[in-house]
Amino acid sequence: MSGRPPTIEDVRAAARRIAPHVHRTPVATSATLDRELGARIFFKCENLQKVGAFKARGAVNAVLSLDDREAARGVITHSSGNHAQALAYAAGLCGAPCTIVMPDSASSIKVEAVRAYGARIVFCKRAERESVCERLRREQDSILIHPFEHPPLIAGQGTAALELLEQVGPLDAVVAPVGGGGLLAGTAVASRSLCPRAAVLGAEPAAADDAARSLATGILEPAVADPQTLADGLLTGLGRINFDILRECGVRVVTVDEEEIVRAGRFVLERMKLVVEPSAATVLAAVRREAGELRGRRVGAILSGGNTDFAWLR
Amino acid sequence: MSGRPPTIEDVRAAARRIAPHVHRTPVATSATLDRELGARIFFKCENLQKVGAFKARGAVNAVLSLDDREAARGVITHSSGNHAQALAYAAGLCGAPCTIVMPDSASSIKVEAVRAYGARIVFCKRAERESVCERLRREQDSILIHPFEHPPLIAGQGTAALELLEQVGPLDAVVAPVGGGGLLAGTAVASRSLCPRAAVLGAEPAAADDAARSLATGILEPAVADPQTLADGLLTGLGRINFDILRECGVRVVTVDEEEIVRAGRFVLERMKLVVEPSAATVLAAVRREAGELRGRRVGAILSGGNTDFAWLR
């Protein structure tokens, strides 16, 4: 697999490949929530994943899919978030050199986490990160592992839904957050094959609703400029490969507002005893938005990550 | 089983009895912590248990061990904490009337939680809760389910360690917090039988160190009066039945100070993405205290509960 979109076989192969290096994360439920919604919600706890997010799955699969010669050239990406940590972690597993281009505004805690995994960090202005990354890639002859537009990475992200279906059995709907779309596309590929009757829903902040609009119009809409949302993992616009997969799989996107995200994050923290980042809280917010549709249903919800300060929950 | 201390067979029977009504909680690990300590620590996540604490195990076993005539008489206890919620939940499972005697200083969130499970609440002054409970028990002819001095309850608490050993295999040490001693005694009974070579350690706040002193002197020492510790689940003095079990099993208690508890709670929240109450954080604090002894070892640590506001972590 390289340029073509991933299939369920790619997702299965990814699951085998990454198994020794990522957690088979637990599934959490809340009787209180199930009563509130008259449904059964199964939360896949990717906040308890290596590096604190599902991103470990895709990055590990992408790096372990390289042959020895490719790995020796090293990998590079631009990210200030979970993909940076995930790629640094993945590269460390096989000793591949790793360069992360980060905006100089990145928080010191994220910088330290990436450094602790042994990656080299290059700082630049936020607006220049793609060009800096591309220049370095050429100079170093290293391999770009894009944060979301990379089929082996998308296949890796799909292993979360694969596992969830193995753990809880058939579902009527599966919900995952959508930013660049890697997780949602991987989820759609896995769900469509393993449980064709399940609706696949994306959860997106209303303030960054390009995926919702793109799927509604059938045309890939540009990302919202400077979106004002707490969900800092979902700022990016939907990628082309993922857009095509989401259309193909008939995915629908539910938008949620900021207050709903905060309320969902508080519920997960206080009632379910789990730390989630705002991007992950969007899935519960979306499930609540769709309560009417989901009544009586079995719903999978992917809590994508837990890397956050707690300021947004106060 | 009634008056005699529980055996491993009682713990096994409890596990079968409670299985439909409690979670088989997941086990969490932290590569960062394992590197810090040069050991492997397996955290049993009872913070993700029903009612947010291991107490669901003991209360459900105690209530489901009653015969129909006993259950119809109803159960009663005094508690402002997790045992109150746990007993209310357990009684609700089989429709047994349930009375909880709570101090009128109990937080409204705890009162509401107990009420939501359908229990009747009787308020009194904190100092009078035992006498009020005893008077009501006689008036109602209901059955006292003591928060920690009750063999079927102790057997139920032991199922956490039983499960942990099933999940991760043999251990070199198992650590649980100690207040009244029900969890630690149940843990000791399970560990001694299933994994005799494992050291069983209690984790206790230095500010409420009666268990440590009692096991050191061999005489059950009175509880510290008005102990000043964040670990509000561990204020009670060690019970007689549990003291005898702990001595019998050769349990040792490690005391930790308040700063260590806070540091441990922050680590679990920020790095492991789990909400724990201060009583649960004591186990990580104790593991760190014993780092020298535990180097190279496989250690089970029971994160006892997650019911907390977050004030202590700021």
Digit-coded pLDDT (tens) for B114-145: 999 999 999 999 889 999 999 999 999 999 99
Q: Is A305 helix (H, G, I), strand (E, B) or coil?
A: strand
Q: Are residues A78 and A191 in the same domain?
A: no
Chain A residue nearest residue B274, CA to CA? A274
B121 in any annotated domain: yes
Residue A1 has pLDDT above 80, yes or no: no
Q: Are residues B23 and B87 in the same domain?
A: no
Q: Say whether B269 and A275 touch across the interface (CB within 8 A).
A: yes
Q: Is residue A2 part of a domain?
A: no
What CATH number is attached to the domain comprising A63? 3.40.50.1100
Domain assignment present for B3 = no
pLDDT over 60 at B108, yes or no: yes
Cβ contacts of B50 on chain A, cutoff 8 Å: 31
- Domain match, B293 and B175 both: yes
Among B183, B261, B250, B181, smallest CA distance to B221 is for B181
Strands B143-144 and A40-45: unpaired
Residue B1 lies in a domain: no
Given a cut of 90, is residue B247 above it in pLDDT?
Answer: yes
Per-residue model confidence (pLDDT) at position A238:
97
Q: Which member of A52, A273, A276 has the closest CB to residue B47?
A: A273
Residue type, B119: A
CA of A231 to nearest chain B CA: how many angstroms apart?
17
Separation between Cα atoms, residue A209 and residue B272, nearest integer Å: 31
Q: Does A143 lie in the same domain as A286?
A: no
Specify if A203 maps to a domain: yes
What is the C-alpha to C-alpha distance for residues B13 and A306, in angstroms, rounded to an integer?
Answer: 37
Measure CB to CB from residue B274 to each of A31, A270, A273 and give the nearest one: A273
In a domain, B125, yes or no: yes
Q: Do B26 and A31 touch (CB under 8 A)?
A: no
B224 touches chain A (CB under 8 A): no
When pLDDT is averaged across residues A102-129 and rounded to a whole number, the result is 90
pLDDT, position B231: 95
Report yes or no on A1 lying in a domain.
no
Residues with Cβ within 8 Å of residue A251, at least 6 apart in sequence:
A184, A188, A200, A201, A202, A215
Is residue A67 predicted with pLDDT exceeding 70? yes
* Predicted confidence (pLDDT) per residue in B61-94, tens digit: 999 999 999 999 999 999 988 999 999 999 999 9
Q: Find the residue in A nearest to B305 (Cα).
A: A273
Among B124, B149, B174, identify where a domain stops. B149
pLDDT of A310 higher than 90: no
Claim to verify: residue B109 and residue B227 sit in the same structural domain: no
ipTM for the assembly: 0.91
Q: Which residues of chain B have a CB within 8 Å of the CB of A50?
A: 31
From the list B26, B47, B270, which residue is nearest A26 (CB)? Answer: B26
B205-242 pLDDT, tens digit per residue, is: 999 999 999 999 999 999 999 999 999 999 999 999 99
Give yes or no: residues A27 and A111 share one domain: no
Q: What is the pLDDT of residue B310?
A: 85
Instruction: Assess whether pLDDT exceeds 80 at residue B3.
Output: no
Which residue, of A98, A130, A149, is where some domain finishes? Answer: A149
Question: Which pLDDT tens digit goes with each residue over B160-209?
Answer: 999 999 999 999 999 999 999 999 999 999 999 999 999 999 999 999 99
Average pLDDT score over residue span A57-82: 96
Domain encompassing residue B101: 56-149
> Which residue of chain A has the CA closest to B314?
A310
pLDDT at B1 over 60: no
Looking at the structure, do residues B210 and B283 belong to the same domain, yes or no?
yes
Asked whether residue B133 falls in the same domain as residue B27, the answer is: no
Start-to-end C-alpha separation, chain A: 45
The DSSP code sequence of A182-249 is HHHHHHHHHHHHH-TTSEEEEEEEGGG-HHHHHHHHTS-PPPPSS---S-GGG-SPPPHHHHHHHHHT
What pLDDT sits at residue A31? 94
Cross-chain CB nearest to B273 (options A31, A52, A270):
A52
Interface touch A48/B31, C-beta < 8 Å: no
Which 3 state secondary structure label does DSSP give A176?
strand
- Per the prediction, chain B carries an average pLDDT of 96
Q: Would you call B140 exposed, middle or buried from its count of C-beta atoms within 10 A (0-12, 13-18, 19+)? A: middle
Q: Are residues A142 and A283 in the same domain?
A: no
What residues of A are in contact with residue B273 (Cβ under 8 Å)?
A: 47-48, 52, 274-276, 306
- pLDDT reading at B37 higher than 60: yes
Query: B271 to chain A, minimum CA–CA distance in Å?
Result: 8
Q: What is the pLDDT of residues A17-43, one digit of tens each?
A: 999 999 999 999 999 999 999 999 999
Please, what is the average pLDDT of chain A?
Answer: 96
> Has residue A207 got a pLDDT over 90?
yes
Asked if B273 lies within 8 A of A275 by C-beta distance, the reply is yes
Put simply, the answer to whether A48 touches B274 (Cβ < 8 Å) is: yes
The string of pLDDT tens digits covering residues A213-227 is: 999 999 999 999 999
CA B29 to chain centre: 20
User: Of B109, B124, B149, at which residue does a domain stop?
Assistant: B149
Examine the domain organization and report whether A179 and A50 are in the same domain: yes
Is there a single domain that holds both residue A219 and residue A102? no
Which pLDDT belongs to residue B107?
82
Q: Is A3 part of any domain?
A: no
With b meaning 16 or more CB within 10 Å and e meaning fewer, what string describes A201-237? bbbbbbbbbbbbbbbeeeebbebbeebebbbbbbbbb
State how far residue A47 is from chain B, nearest Cα, in angstroms.
7
Rounded alpha-carbon distances, angstroms, from residue A31 to A39, B48, B64, B93, B313: 10, 12, 20, 13, 27
Domain count, chain A: 2
CA pair distance A262, A285, nearest whole angstrom: 9
- For an interface test with B, which of A82, A273, A309 has the most B Cβ atoms less than 10 Å from its Cβ? A273
* Residues of chain B with C-beta less than 8 angstroms from the C-beta of A45: 26
Same domain, B162 and B40: yes
**C-alpha distances in Å from residue B178, one per residue of B169, B194, B309:** 24, 21, 21
